[in-house]
A and B are shown apart, each in its own frame.
Chain A
Amino acid sequence: MSASASRTPPEGLGLGKDLTGLQHLTGAQIKGILDTAEPFKEISERRIKKVPVLRGKTIVNLFLEPSTRTRISFEFAEKRLSADTVNIAASGSSVQKGESLVDTARNLEAMRIDMVVIRHGSSGAARFLADRIPSNVINAGDGQHEHPTQALLDLLTIRDRFGSLAGRRVCIIGDVRHSRVARSDIWGLLRCGAEVAVCGPRTLIPLGIEELGVAVLSRVEEAIEWAEALYVLRLQLERMDGGFVPSLREYNRFFGISRARLERAPRDIAVLHPGPMNRGVEIDSDVADGPWSLILPQVTNGVAVRMAVLYLLAGGQPELAESAKEAEG
């Protein structure tokens, strides 16, 4: 794995101050992040899961929208790199009292922090923050825009499974319209040379998606026929109220990923899901827990990828990641 790290340019990846999305990154930059994540995987397998890479750095996890997995994953990544972290949630904070995002950010900045990891319900919120404070900003999901670290861990998981991303055929299934994960995965997969399709009820496929460079499939059978990997999106239950889908039962029948469907696939197929799952809706339990599933490896990779992103934005060099983690603690 460290051999792949040598592919990154020695002068660094040029990611800039922030990671707000994958749309404006190059394939080389994305590969560089994934390569940097490789050596960090091992840290989480140690008995003492801590290296001093970010010692003395202060990181604020500003989660203004509910999140369990992403917040915990970031927190583990930060702690395993020895950063000092503070968590802020919307409830119980000044945000709930009506403080604007820009004021919250400036107040944090005044406490001399180094990085902000932000989760926010509005598209563009991470960029908004990044443009207004000198700290590094990492987007942990903004509205329906992007969720770049989720996509990076997905890419890493697919690369682990298939050995490469170039030429892989990945179909994203479900509520693409409302999904920031879908957007980041589309950009990331395309930049890395994969072929991407989306599939779901037309009410959940946004207009103009083809212009991003993806194919649209309207039946899940076609998707299974075509793809090597299925990326199954969570169906937000409130979509029923919006009238996008008539019932969960119908969704499961026509778009759910079941064992029976996968057994008819012409090849060995991998299934990913960003979590949390609605078992029996978009994915059946015997798929989620079956041989197709890469869902738990995704979660494991999430910590490594986030460590890599934190390390790189803090100024770390990709080719030094291996040695950085060995430094004296």
Chain B
Amino acid sequence: MSRPALLVGGRLLDPSQGLDAPGTILIRDGRIEACGPDIAGPEEAEVVDVGGLVVAPGFIDVHVHFREPGDEHKETIQSGAKCAVAGGFTTVWTMPNTDPPIDDPAAVGFVRASGERARGARVFPVGAASRGLRGEQMTEVGELVAAGAVAVSDDGNPIWNAGLLRRLLEYTQTFGVPVLQHAEDRDLACGGVMNEGKVATALGLRGVPNAAEAGMVARDCLIAELTGGHLHVCHVSTRESVEHIRRAKERAAHVTAEVTPHHLALTEDAVRFYRTEAKMNPPLRTEDDRAAVIEALADGTIDIIATDHAPHHYEEKEREFDDAPFGVVGLETALGIAVLELVETGMLTLGELVERLSCGPARIMGLEGGTLRPGSPGDIVVFDPAERWVVDPSTFLSGSHNTPFLGLELVGRVRATWVGGELRFRLPRESSPARRQSPSYAEKGGL
């Protein structure tokens, strides 16, 4: 094991224990050994002066696409895990819609092993819910979990067969994993490429109505209530979906939900001029929907933020809108967007934001981490909540640059990330982030 590290002079921000105070953290043997105001480390400890920045439990993103195997030109598990720590994420869940899909134990083992080797964020595979993501036959959920899968999903494809979803929500209870559902009625979506409404009508693009998502969310919530299984609703984008989730929670169904930074920040107006960087599924909606998902995140109806990080190659996005693939990258801009849109606007406190990014995902998914409590994994993010910076995709560590936030000034920037007590990312103190190097704080002693 590496030397113990002592992070001094930070603002410890850990909603899991109601902590927001100056203090010190001692990391030893990969875990947090102590956390509080008056902590002294052993003599051999490396001392890192955090210089008043926020020290929080590492962020957890339960929804990313790392494209390996099959589309390594977009993202590899290596590049994905590295860009995750650059965004302050210490744990990511990778969706199984790769080529081939992650629908057997060997594939799950491949993702886990590749994640270990990447030495970025912890990479946990979500297994396919149905073989081949075809929505017909349940995968060997027990075998997938035994091999290291943390959830099951057919993400990208909705589980349309209500009987299959019912059986999944029942069967997964033995193994304690959630079913993550991309809610979209494909008959209503009808090949749409953006939100249905005035903007789509003017652009002559096929639209996807809110009901395509909300109708399936309503049905899924009823099945969750029927079965007692854990349904997690991915990337909520509409006011109507929020209402169905709120009602299901009132009725004590085991339903949780996530929202993406882009649905918190943008509306369908971003699609004007056929910007393929703003093409994603579910599509960007109206201002009314945006207000509804922000409000739902604030009141807890939507539990957490997840990025739906979906890398695509430049050439695939540089084409006619109809033909461009859905999806945007999000790991490296999530914090900056969230502070800008939620904290600066007074919708959330900084502590509440850390809860939605870290403690919340750990709590709803039953994960270790998401806390600075002694004994927890040494997964820590240090960030400057006030730093303003401009999004320049050429500096991304991700294999792809397809962001709708190009040139936007964000607030809040990750400075360093520890995973399992090891410094896995550090933003160079000066100069362009393009020169981010392999992390080593030892020679400088500070951030």
Contact = CB atoms under 8 A, between A and B. Distances in A.
Interface of A: 23, 100-102, 120-125, 127-128, 142-146, 180, 183, 206-209, 211-212
Given A100-B315, A207-B196, A207-B209, A124 B201 contact: no
Nearest to A131: B273
A128 B320 contact: yes
B209 A101 contact: no
15 contacts: A101-B319, A101-B320, A122-B320, A122-B321, A122-B323, A123-B204, A123-B322, A124-B320, A125-B320, A128-B321, A143-B205, A145-B205, A206-B207, A208-B198, A212-B202
Nearest to B273: A127
Nearest to A146: B204
Given A145-B204, A208-B200, 9 more contacts: A100-B319, A102-B319, A122-B320, A123-B203, A128-B320, A143-B322, A145-B203, A146-B204, A206-B207
Interface of B: 196-207, 209, 273-274, 315, 318-323
Interface centre among B315, B320, B321 (most CB of A within 10 A): B320
Nearest to B271: A124
Query: 6 nearest interchain CB pairs?
Result: A124-B274, A145-B204, A144-B204, A208-B198, A122-B320, A123-B204
> Which of A100, A102, A120, A122 counts the most chain B CB atoms within 10 A?
A122
A127 B202 contact: no
B320 A212 contact: no
Contacts of A142: 204
Contacts of B318: 100, 102
Given A127-B274, A144-B204, A208 B323 contact: no
Q: Give the most central of B203, B204, B315, B320: most A CB within 10 Å.
A: B204
Contact of B320 (A120, A207, A211): A120
Nearest to B190: A242
Contacts of A102: 318-319
Contacts of A128: 274, 319-321
Contacts of B274: 123-124, 127-128
Nearest to A123: B204
A142 B323 CA distance: 14
B273 A208 contact: no
Nearest to B274: A124
A90 B50 CA distance: 61
Contacts of A127: 273-274
Contacts of B321: 122-124, 128
Nearest to B320: A122
Contact of A183 (B204, B273, B319): B204
A140 to B, nearest CB: 14
Contacts of B205: 123-124, 143-145
Among B203, B319, B322, the most chain A Cβ lie within 10 Å of the Cβ of B203
A144 B204 CA distance: 4
Q: Which of B198, B201, B273, B318 has the most CB of A within 10 A?
A: B201
A149 B321 CA distance: 22
A272 to B, nearest CB: 20
